Amino acid sequence: MENLVQLVRDPIVALIVACEIGLWVLLGLGLVTRYLLRLRTPSTLLLAAIPLLDVVLVVTVTLDLLRGAEPRSVHGLAALYLGSSVAFGPSIVRWADVRFAHRFAGGPPPVKPAKGTPERVAALWREWNRVVVAAAIASVVLGGLILFVATPEQSGLLSWWIGRAWAVVGIWLVAGPLWESGSRATTAGRG
């Protein structure tokens, strides 16, 4: 429990949590403004502000390390969060927009591809591509921190996070599109 309290008190952890909460608050406000208040321009501005949260996170992590903070797992986690936010952010906004429009503005219902269909496999490949983009962004951010900010003693932990990002890519590949493609091939073979 004491470790959890220390983790929550960490300013980088607090910022990651604040960025995640901020994403959902800006998304909710943007959709309410667009569909319930019917104010298109303010809605667009609110939704466009979401990436600014990522900029704040990168600048804060960089400044933290420049001030001499010892690299910790939370710095690597911040880079992974940033990559995920950039890669998945637009699709999260589209996902929420479709559902909100359906619920509050008479839009069409969301379509979810059925398991085992080519559409489902294609959707899983698109999702995996986003994971690759997230890992690439996290790797570039971590690489930049290693090259330009961290001391040689600090770079080891940051490098470790690059490997973890790409391990997630591999696991996602096997558990996502390859698994679905294999299941689909097995089902087609039985039919």
CA–CA separation, 125 and 138 (whole Å): 20
Whether residue 7 contacts residue 17, with contact meaning beta carbons closer than 8 Å, is answered with no
Question: What is residue 100's predicted lDDT score, i.e. its pLDDT?
Answer: 94
Task: For residue 4, name the pLDDT band (cuts at 50, 70, 90).
Answer: low
- Segment 42-76, tens digit of pLDDT: 999 999 999 999 889 988 988 888 888 877 888 88
Average pLDDT over residues 11-23: 90
